[in-house]
Amino acid sequence: MLTLRAVAADPTDPLSGLALEEVDEPTVPDGWEVVEVRAAAVNHHDLFTLRGVAVPPERLPVTLGSDAAGVTADGREVLCHAVVPNPGVTVADETEVFGRLSILSEVYDGTHAERVAVPSANLLDKPASLSFIEAACLPTAWLTAYRMLFTQAGVRAGDRVLVQGAGGGVATAAIALAAAAGCVVTATSRHEHKRAAALELGAAVALPPGDRLHEPVDAAIDTVGEATFGHSLRALAPGGALVVAGATTGPHPPVELRRVFAKQLRILGSSMGTRGELAGLLRLLEATGTRPRVAATHPLAEGLRAYRDLLDGEAVGKLVLVP
C-alpha cells in the first residue's frame, strides 16, 4: 500500500527525509483493527519527526500522520483517537495521557497511508454531519485546542480568551471553539490575511503580536513559545491561565515570576487529549455547527505539496491528504 514515511531526519532540511513508499499491509495486534483511510490531516508533529525532534532517528523509518477518518472492514465510518498505549503498557484510566502513551506515527505507523491499524477502543463513530475531511482535522489540532480551553483553562461562556499565532491548526481551532462556546476572543498574527481569517473564525479582535490588548484576558492559548510567551503572561487578568501546547519559536522564554505570584497566575502545559474529550469535541461541533477550516486537500501521492505548505507557514487552517 502507498504511504508517506519519514526515512531520515534533518533539522535544517526536513523534507529531504520524506518519502512516498509502497509498504506491506499493516500488522494488526490483538484488540486492533484496520481502518481504510479516507482522509488524514498533516500536523507540525510530522515536521518535528522529519527534523529529528518528535521521534528518535533510530526509530525511523516510520509512516507519518496522527489524524485519520475512514471506514472499518465492517463498513463503520470512524475517526481515530491518535493516543495509544506504548507496547506492554495497560492503561486503566483514559486520563493517563502522560509519559506512558504515544501517538500514532511515534511508536506505531501513522495515518498517511491507504490503511492504518488502530486499537478498536480508539475508534469513534463519525457523525453523519461531518465529512471525512472535516473529521480528519480533529484528533490532533482540534483535540489539543479543546483540552487547552475547556479542561486545562476551564473557560466558560463570557470569558475573555487570547489566542496567539492565528493561522496554525491549533490556533484556528482554539479561535473557532472558544467563539462557539460564547467566549470573547482576541487573536494575534504577524500577517494581515491571517488576522482577517481569525475574525472570520469568530475572533472579536485581531492584533499584531505584542500589541496592547483592550482588556485583560481570563485565558491565553499559546503554541508559539518564546516570541509570544511574555505577551501572553502580561495579558492575563488576576487568576488567569496561560496554557502552553507548543514552542515553534523556541522553548526557553523569560518568565516574570513576580507577575506570576502577585497575580496568582496559572501556567499549564497541555498535549493532545483523551478519548472522552474527543467525544466531547464531536458533541460541541454537532451542537454549534462549528466546522474545521480546511486550507487545502491533496492526494496522498502528492503529499509533498501539503508538507511544503505546512513548512512555509502560509496556510490558514488544516492541510488534508485524501488517499
The per-residue pLDDT for range 1-60, each reduced to its tens digit, is 999 999 999 999 999 999 999 999 999 999 999 999 999 999 999 999 999 998 998 999
Give the closest residue to 253 by CA, choosing from 230, 276, 282: 230
DSSP state of 120: G
Half-sphere exposure of 134 (CA within 13 A, CB side): 15
The per-residue pLDDT for range 128-178, each reduced to its tens digit, is 999 999 999 999 999 999 999 999 999 999 999 999 999 889 999 999 999
Angle at 212 between CA 245 and CA 169, to 5 degrees: 30
DSSP state of 248: T
3-state secondary structure of 71: strand
Is the pLDDT score of 124 beyond 80?
yes
Alpha-carbon distances, residue 67 vs 37, 81, 297 (angstroms): 10, 8, 14
- Structure pTM? 0.94
The per-residue pLDDT for range 264-320, each reduced to its tens digit, is 999 999 999 999 999 999 999 999 999 999 999 999 999 999 999 999 988 888 999
For the chain, list the domains and their CATH numbers: 2-137+292-322 (3.90.180.10), 141-269 (3.40.50.720)
How many Cβ atoms sit within 10 Å of the Cβ of residue 26? Answer: 21
Three-state SS across 127-170?
A: CCCCCHHHHHCHHHHHHHHHHHHHHHCCCCCCCEEEECCECEHH
The CA distance from 260 to 281, in Å, is 31
The CA distance from 199 to 117, in Å, is 39
Angle at 241 between CA 240 and CA 247, to 5 degrees: 140
The CA distance from 18 to 7, in Å, is 6
Give the closest residue to 169 by CA, choosing from 140, 126, 203: 140
Q: Report which residue type is found at 253.
A: P
Residue length of the chain: 323
The per-residue pLDDT for range 225-250, each reduced to its tens digit, is 999 999 999 999 999 999 999 888 88
Query: What sign for the dihedral angle of Cα 212, 218, 221, 227?
Result: positive
The CA distance from 18 to 301, in Å, is 12
> Residue 241, exposed/middle/buried by CB under 10 A (0-12, 13-18, 19+)?
buried
Is the pLDDT score of 95 beyond 60?
no
What is the pLDDT, as a whole number, of residue 250?
Answer: 85
